[in-house]
């Protein structure tokens, strides 16, 4: 084809004129609902309850676990989020990681332990982190949070642990440390 012919070429008309085995694509004058034989009004309104934002009966009937420590843990999450320093290596990642840890607590996640990449991979796979942080920023974020909260523990120089189950046990070391920090801050 010459350049002048390319400028006036109508690909839509060419696609409509092509022979097909069946009607795959609707023409310009038809909608997808018309081709499929679906009532257009029903196609728009017939969404699953979960997609429309409503709770399904199955999730509404499920009993929610009672969390007597929610107030204490919620205050701790807010306090640590406010204490993360700004402008240092890993601070933004620490904010994202801390938000992911809070979501993990709300979802009753099991304890997460392992090397830095294993910890971040587990949170990423659970849908709690949007991106995987780099080596230096990830390590710096974990070190920042280790100094601010007993929820993040450094087990070894290359191993970390997120203590989700201990946030649900009133007699755990993590809850005891959170209460001590809260009492020290109130003085």
Question: DSSP string of 17-84?
Answer: HS--SS--S--TTS-HHHHHT--HHHHHH---TTTTTPPPHHHHHSPPPP-TTHHHHHHHHHHHHHHS
Q: Parallel, antiparallel, or unpaired for β 159-162 and 112-115?
A: antiparallel
Six-digit token pair at 165? 């189950």
**Are the beta carbons of 159 and 115 closer than 8 angstroms?**
yes
CA torsion angle 50 112 100 145 (round to 10):
170
Q: Mean pLDDT of all residues in the chain?
A: 78
Burial (Cβ within 10 Å: 0-12, 13-18, ≥19) of residue 178: buried
CA distance 174 to 170: 9
Taking only the tens place, the pLDDT of each residue in 145-187 is 999 999 999 998 889 999 999 998 889 999 999 999 888 877 6
Burial (Cβ within 10 Å: 0-12, 13-18, ≥19) of residue 152: buried
More confident residue, 120 or 157: 120
Burial (Cβ within 10 Å: 0-12, 13-18, ≥19) of residue 98: buried
Taking only the tens place, the pLDDT of each residue in 46-63 is 444 444 444 444 444 555
Taking only the tens place, the pLDDT of each residue in 103-116 is 999 998 999 999 99
Residue 70: the pLDDT is 86
Residue 51: the pLDDT is 47
3-class secondary-structure state, position 132: coil
Q: For the chain, give the number of residues.
A: 187
pTM of the model: 0.63
């Amino acid at each position: 084809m010459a350049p002048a012919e390319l400028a006036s070429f109508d690909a839509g008309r060419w696609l409509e004129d092509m022979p097909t085995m069946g009607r795959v694509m609707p023409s310009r004058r038809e909608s997808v609902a018309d081709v499929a034989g679906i009532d257009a009004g029903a196609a728009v309104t017939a969404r699953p309850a979960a997609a429309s934002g409503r709770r399904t009966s199955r999730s509404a009937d499920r009993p929610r676990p009672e969390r007597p420590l929610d107030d204490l843990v919620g205050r701790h999450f807010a306090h640590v989020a406010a204490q993360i320093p700004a402008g240092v290596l890993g601070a933004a990642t620490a904010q994202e990681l801390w938000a992911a840890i809070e979501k993990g607590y709300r979802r009753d996640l099991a304890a997460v332990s392992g090397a830095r990449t294993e910890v971040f991979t587990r949170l990423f796979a659970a849908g709690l982190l949007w991106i995987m942080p780099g080596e230096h920023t990830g390590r710096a974020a974990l070190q920042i949070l280790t100094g601010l909260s007993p929820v993040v523990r450094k087990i070894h120089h290359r191993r970390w642990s997120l203590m989700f189950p201990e946030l649900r046990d009133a007699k755990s070391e993590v809850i005891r440390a959170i209460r001590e920090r809260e009492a020290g801050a109130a003085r």
